């Protein structure tokens, strides 16, 4: 009796370690970004603007090269791209910590984004590691979970290690006194180097294995299909068109057109012509558009909520009344506490709720229903000013939980649907590269665009502009065709 493919725990754990390194380095600057710019420029003038450029520089350049790295991973393999990208982030962190002028720091951030193609390639590796559809919800939740976890570690590390000479005399008259922001970047770079070392030794290449051995959830015998240098097997490969659902066929279609060898179809020997190169389809484009909108909403919520919380109420606004222009009026310390709780809520949703929920409801239904109802969660935020002061925190936390629940479930579901809509794994790296480039672009324009609307029209206008984007995402749902048969496999596994 055929055995089911086990969950790739070890390889996913190594990939998770590599994924954890990037958000630690990325988020470590957020805690000290504003004073860093003020100190390095020697002037507080427009410091907030220049600090925003440092954050955006990484995302902009990452978006510009994501497709290139995805295509290179289709040709050269996933592992070398991931490890070289991590080394690029480590180099960027060191230069950033040692920079003595703003433009060098900005160049360091830009170079870090240029050299980093990890997100799309890691998503592709997850798709190639996981052979059983019922394993996908847990596996696909790993990368965003590591992002949330790494962001919390990075932000805390940046706050604790920046300007160490002010905290302890042992750092006086040392290199850390001369370069007050070097220590957090040095620690981040050290962690990245450790992740690269572990990945070099233990992370397995996924592209060739998937392309040549054509493993399926039914547990095909790998030893009977050895990998030859020219990509052909010593035995006839079996097409899975008539044996397994489409979800499995998508995993096994890579490399079919690369070999003119004979195939066995349904146990009958036939000579088949080489298949044409896989092409993009309408569903893939629509799913990438949905991913971009989801990224925009996730980023703009994370940027606008702290501003809304710290923004003072409008002059003359009475407690319990709707305030269309002002905010809650929290202190910076209160906002920090709320955001810390938000980070842990995100981890709980990602690590505890996501997998059982999606297994029960299904990938497709989770995406559809949460996307359709998402606009309500943005539309009600300005109404928090109407809540009595004693219940304001409860209203804020309720909205944060709702947002985390929706965003954290929608995004991985879209990644799985995009993978199922891709006709062949041979172009999956390219597809994920395009998707991540679009997502990075959406994250880049989200903060300034929403900030402009918020500043010009007030808090209600800012939040309702986000609601409009969420409505557009909901209206696009009926135009997307559900990937054939893939959902049925997951529904069975969740019963």
Q: Between 63 and 107, name the one with better pLDDT.
A: 107
Domains, the chain, ordered by start: 9-209 (1.20.1250.20), 223-270 (no CATH), 282-494 (1.20.1250.20)
Kindly report, residue by residue over 358-400, the tens digit of the pLDDT.
889 999 999 999 999 999 999 999 999 999 888 999 999 999 9
| pLDDT value at 251 more than 70 | no
Q: What pLDDT does residue 242 have? A: 35
Q: What pLDDT does residue 43 have? A: 75
Mean pLDDT of all residues in 31-44 = 78
Residues 279, 430 contacting (CB under 8 angstroms): no
Q: What pLDDT does residue 218 have? A: 41
Q: What pLDDT does residue 383 have? A: 93
What's the N-to-C CA distance of the chain in angstroms? 23
- Quote the percentage of the chain above a pLDDT of 90: 28
| pLDDT value at 460 more than 60 | yes
Mean pLDDT of all residues in 323-336 = 80
Q: Report the residue count for the chain.
A: 495
**CA-CA distance, 391 to 384, in Å (whole number)?**
9
Residues 327, 309 contacting (CB under 8 angstroms): yes
Those residues with Cβ within 8 angstroms of residue 428's Cβ, 6 or more apart along the chain or in another chain? 74, 124, 127, 128, 254, 419, 422
Q: What is the pTM of this model?
A: 0.66
Q: Between 166 and 200, name the one with better pLDDT.
A: 200
Which helix H or strand E contains 268, and what residues bound it? strand 268-270
**CA-CA distance, 311 to 309, in Å (whole number)?**
6
Which helix H or strand E contains 265, and what residues bound it? strand 263-265
Q: Between 159 and 181, name the one with better pLDDT.
A: 181
**CA-CA distance, 485 to 475, in Å (whole number)?**
24
Determine the 3-state secondary structure of 483 from DSSP. coil
Distances in Å between the Cα of 330 and the Cα atoms of 323, 334, 344, 389, 396 are 15, 6, 20, 11, 12
The count of other CB atoms within 10 Å of the CB of residue 222 is 12
Q: Between 267 and 350, name the one with better pLDDT.
A: 350
């Amino acid at each position: 009796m055929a055995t089911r493919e086990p969950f790739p725990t070890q390889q996913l754990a190594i990939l998770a370690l590599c994924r954890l390194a990037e958000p630690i380095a990325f988020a470590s600057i957020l805690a000290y970004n504003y004073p860093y710019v003020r100190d390095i420029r020697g002037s507080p003038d427009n410091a907030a603007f220049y600090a925003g450029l440092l954050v955006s520089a990484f995302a902009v350049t990452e978006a510009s090269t994501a497709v290139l790295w995805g295509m290179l991973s289709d040709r050269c393999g996933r592992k070398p791209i991931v490890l070289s990208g991590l080394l690029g982030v480590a180099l960027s962190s060191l230069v950033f910590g040692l920079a003595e002028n703003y433009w060098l720091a900005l160049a360091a951030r830009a170079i870090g984004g240029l050299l980093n193609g990890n997100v799309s390639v890691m998503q592709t590796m997850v798709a190639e590691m996981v052979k059983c559809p019922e394993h996908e919800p847990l596996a696909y939740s790993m990368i965003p979970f590591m992002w949330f976890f790494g962001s919390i570690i990075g932000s805390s590390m940046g706050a604790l290690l920046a300007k160490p000479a002010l905290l302890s005399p042992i750092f006086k008259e040392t290199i850390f006194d001369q370069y007050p922001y070097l220590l957090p970047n040095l620690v981040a770079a050290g962690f990245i180097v450790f992740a690269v070392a572990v990945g070099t030794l233990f992370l397995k290449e996924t592209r060739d294995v998937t392309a040549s051995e054509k493993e399926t959830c039914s547990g095909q015998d790998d030893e009977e299909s050895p990998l030859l240098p020219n990509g052909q097997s010593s035995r006839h490969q079996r097409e899975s068109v008539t044996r397994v659902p489409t979800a499995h066929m998508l995993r096994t279609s890579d490399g079919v057109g690369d070999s003119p060898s004979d195939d066995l179809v349904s146990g009958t020997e036939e000579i088949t012509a080489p298949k044409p190169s896989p092409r993009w389809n309408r569903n893939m484009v629509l799913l990438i558009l949905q991913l971009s909108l989801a990224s925009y909403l996730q980023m703009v919520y994370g940027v606008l909520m702290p501003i809304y919380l710290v923004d003072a109420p409008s002059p003359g606004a009475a407690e319990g009344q709707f305030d269309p222009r002002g905010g809650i009026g929290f202190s910076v310390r209160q906002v920090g506490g709320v955001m810390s709780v938000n980070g842990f809520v995100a981890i709980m949703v990602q690590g505890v709720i996501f997998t059982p929920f999606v297994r029960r409801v299904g990938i497709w239904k989770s995406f559809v229903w949460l996307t359709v109802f998402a606009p309500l969660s943005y539309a009600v935020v300005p109404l928090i000013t109407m809540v009595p002061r004693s219940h304001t925190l409860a209203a804020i936390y309720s909205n944060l939980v709702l947002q985390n629940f929706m965003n954290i479930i929608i995004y991985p579901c879209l990644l799985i649907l995009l993978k199922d809509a891709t006709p062949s794994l041979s172009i999956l790296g390219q597809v994920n590269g395009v998707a991540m480039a679009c997502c990075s672009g959406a994250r880049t324009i989200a903060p300034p665009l929403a900030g402009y609307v918020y500043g010009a029209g007030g808090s209600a206008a800012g939040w309702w502009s986000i609601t409009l984007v969420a409505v557009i995402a909901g209206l696009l749902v009926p135009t997307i065709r559900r990937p054939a048969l893939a959902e049925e496999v997951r529904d069975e596994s969740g019963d």
